């Protein structure tokens, strides 16, 4: 959540922007939304909307998975 937005966060929710900001602050890079979606599928057992395989350029690079996973944990999305 952006500072000063005045909105309370519901536990277990986070937008891609929330995740991107947290990772930028803690890891110094901004993950692509495709990478976040891929990690949500991996860790939250979310099936892709379509049955087509994910294009390789949509997959999260292996060296970026851990920071995204830690962001998901930080926002209470993983148990």
Give the pLDDT confidence of 28-78 residue by residue, as tens digits. Answer: 999 999 999 999 988 887 655 666 666 777 899 999 999 999 999 999 998
How many Cα neighbours within 13 Å face the side chain of 20? 12
Contacts (Cβ under 8 Å, ≥6 apart) of 12 = 75, 76, 77
pTM (2 d.p.)? 0.75
| CA pair distance 4, 69, nearest whole angstrom | 26
Give the pLDDT confidence of 14-32 residue by residue, as tens digits. Answer: 899 999 999 999 999 999 9
| CA pair distance 47, 41, nearest whole angstrom | 6
């Amino acid at each position: 959540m952006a500072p000063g937005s005045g909105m309370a966060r519901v536990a277990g929710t986070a937008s891609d922007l929330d995740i991107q900001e947290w990772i930028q602050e803690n890891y110094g890079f901004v993950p692509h939304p495709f990478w976040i979606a891929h990690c949500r599928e991996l860790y939250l057992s979310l099936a892709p909307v379509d049955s087509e395989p994910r294009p390789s350029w949509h997959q999260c690079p292996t060296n970026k998975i851990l920071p995204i996973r830690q962001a998901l944990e930080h926002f209470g999305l993983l148990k």
